[in-house]
Amino acid sequence: MNKVYLLLSFFLLGILQANSQETRKDILFDNDWKFFRGDVKGAELVSFNDAAWRSLNVPHDWSIEGPYDRGNATGRGGGYLPCGIGWYRKTFSLDEKEYKKQVFIEFDGIMANSEVWINGHFLGERPNGYISFQYELSHYLNFGKNKNNVLAVKADNSVQPASRWYTGAGIYRHVHMVLVNPVHVSYNGSFVYASSANKEKSLLQIQTAVINEESSLKKVVVKADIISPSGEIIAKSSSTQTIAAHHEETFLQQVDVVRPVLWDIEHPQLYTALISVWIDDKKIDEIRFLFGIRDAHFEAATGFWLNGKNIKLKGVCMHHDGGAVGAAVPLGVYERRLELLKSVGVNAIRTSHNETSPEFLSLCDKMGLLVMDETFDTWTARKSSAENGYNLYFNDWWEKDTKAIIMRDRNHPSIVIYSIGNEIHDNLDDSSGFRKYRMQQDLVHALDPSRPVTMALFRPALSHVYENGFAQTMDIVGQNYRENELIAAHEKHPEWKVIGTENRHEQSAWMALRDKPYMAGQFLWTGFDYLGEADWPKIANASGLFDKTGGPRDIAFQRTSWWSDKPVLHVMRKEQNAGAGDWISDWSPTDIDTYDEARVQAFSNCDEVELFLNGKSVGVRQRPDDNASPRVWSFPFEKGTLKAVARNKGKVVAEQALTTAGKPAKIKLTADKASIENKWDDVVYVTATVTDENGEPCLNADNKIKFSCSGAGDLIAVDNADVSSGEPYQVKERWAYKGKCIAIVKANAASGIITVSATADQLQSGAVSVSVK
């Protein structure tokens, strides 16, 4: 019996081996690069000696290492950080058994004007630093033991000014090596979308492009399995085609999903598509990716709809930098930023004004954020502070770059609309402007028929796009600022679908969205402060709801009072006497002796707000008639505690207190999470707050804070919220700004404890610990 069982086992194993073949390998290629800042003759050659070069891992942004200098050619757009040429080299070997594979290198982004070589053979160039792309290496590789290969990359952003905001420099996103069989799914070649979707049933359209690089015709079967969020296979499809040698064919399939779990902003449920390629009953390729099932569309009279619900897009614009980490942004930085934005009511992101990283979009999918996916800031006409930007390359590269963006991004359910331009300065009042728009929109529709296209129109009264027929060609009419112009245009053309693509924080902008049902949404400029687009000595733009360290501005609380269904209360005072200066949230004037008259306002969505100064009421303010304006008070200042109490129907629903701080006495450290993982994308933010003896924050403190990190982690950057601070980031000390600064920490071991400490002259030190899991 045992002998029979053994023979049967060998027989079954033989069947399995006969019907299986190694499909594809996707290898993260981030580690063990060599880097040199500057140009070097012959660095692409295998024989070049890079032993003296710096060893590092990518993603890597060398520009953020500084120094800041007013004379740097990047100027106000690039935040006065350095530009130039950077070289990267990586030496690797491949097993001899891989020689029949096709080998590709995939870059998620190289800033900018990249050139790539393998073993001295030139593979190609890519001007646009935001684009993801691949090259085939197969024909130039060495396989086998002790046979090395050298991948060389040159990144060049020396021609400036090239951008109106900070771009970074180098291989600043992830790199992958992919090995496949000669018959395989093409790069970004599979697409799944719902042509109809409701709670009862969804019809999925599945497109898969398969390329045959064999020397003979092949009969190919493509199988598609749809896996539910709970992990069950709930739909299958199979189709067969014959593919000629060195040709590509697209397989079209349809499947029904009964009672689908719909993706939405509250429950962002994700399905998995498992696409496999078979020849003669052997699986030769397989890919899997996440997607969502949802019905998202725009209507002219009522704006945006998601799964039968009418939703306002309460959006913000975001540039790609992560503050102190520059353009090489760990996913943990983005995750923290998106969590903060969601906490104040944001439900949508505009990727201004370029292709973002693939993992950023995956994060939006996971967190339930809607996305306007934007392609370009310029077409052919140049812009100030970016005269040497993409305008130099648009004619030659727009089609290839647009195709790369749409094909890479189209499986993300978070994306509900594409934008193909921001404040384009090309002439939109002649046939050439019409043609440029139409050719891009048509290409997007061909690659993704499931989403509409817009662009952020610039001063339409001057470009005449509302009168000359241009706006009629747009799927959705988008406009930056000047909400009244867009309102007037829609009321003249009620058949137009309209959206605010970029908007200020003012109350009037919000009321235009709130009070006009046809306004689909708005995107505030911006969600976070960003590097660049600032005049020296400023190095960052302070337009965010949050500063670059993640600290909320008062306008963030104002938005929350408009956007949130929960009780909101936030109190602030004028910084200087009798209503002068900025609004700040403390009760500690810099010069108490001259601060006589306090001007106070409160953002709230509650019925009434009452203020108490040292226990005595200074007045009640009812909900304003417009249900948006702040409540205001003016009264003599006294040291002590200002307390605000908000009520709905007479019941207390929110309270806030501001207390006069004493002299700075100690440092309080807090970590934004209790544990992290030992991987490149995970970080912890440690905030140092200067307080008095009682723990009250001293927002006027500007002590120099010195950080140290011990145990299972490293300090990778420090920062504060001051947009005029040109201090370096890769150091261990920072001046407190408004009483605070931050340190960003990563793990360097698989487990253990990270302890961060902070000291300053004449202050009691602080410490905090984080575990590595």
By annotation, the residues acting in catalysis are: 423, 502
Handedness of CA 39, 45, 48, 54 (dihedral sign): positive
What is the rounded CA–CA span in Å between residue 347 and residue 367?
Answer: 10
What is the rounded CA–CA span in Å between residue 48 and residue 194?
Answer: 52
Q: Which helix (H) or strand (E) holds 224?
A: strand 218-227
**CA dihedral defined by 475, 354, 290, 175, rounded to 10 degrees?**
150
What is the rounded CA–CA span in Å between residue 680 and residue 58?
Answer: 9
Q: What CA–CA distances, in Å, run from 355 to 62, 728, 740?
A: 20, 27, 33
Break the chain down into helix, strand, coil percent, rounded to 5. 15, 40, 45
Please list, in sequence order, all residues whose beta carbon lies within 8 angstroms of the beta carbon of residue 115, skipping any fewer than 6 positions away.
44, 122, 124, 125, 153, 154, 156
* Amino acid found at 709: C
Nearest-CA neighbor of 221 among 210, 207, 235?
Answer: 210
Please list, in sequence order, all residues whose beta carbon lies within 8 angstroms of the beta carbon of residue 634, skipping any fewer than 6 positions away.
579, 597, 598, 599, 600
The three-state (H, E, C) secondary structure of 165-187, written as one string: CCCCCECCCCEEEEEECCEEEEE
What is the rounded CA–CA span in Å between residue 167 and residue 327?
Answer: 7
Nearest-CA neighbor of 518 among 713, 206, 302, 348?
Answer: 302
- Are the C-beta atoms of 133 and 114 separated by less than 8 Å? no
State how far Cα 568 lies from the chain centre.
27
Residues in the chain: 773
What is the rounded CA–CA span in Å between residue 390 and residue 661?
Answer: 51
Nearest-CA neighbor of 569 among 608, 546, 603?
Answer: 603
Give the CA radius of gyration of the chain: 28
Q: What 3-state class would DSSP assign to 651?
A: strand
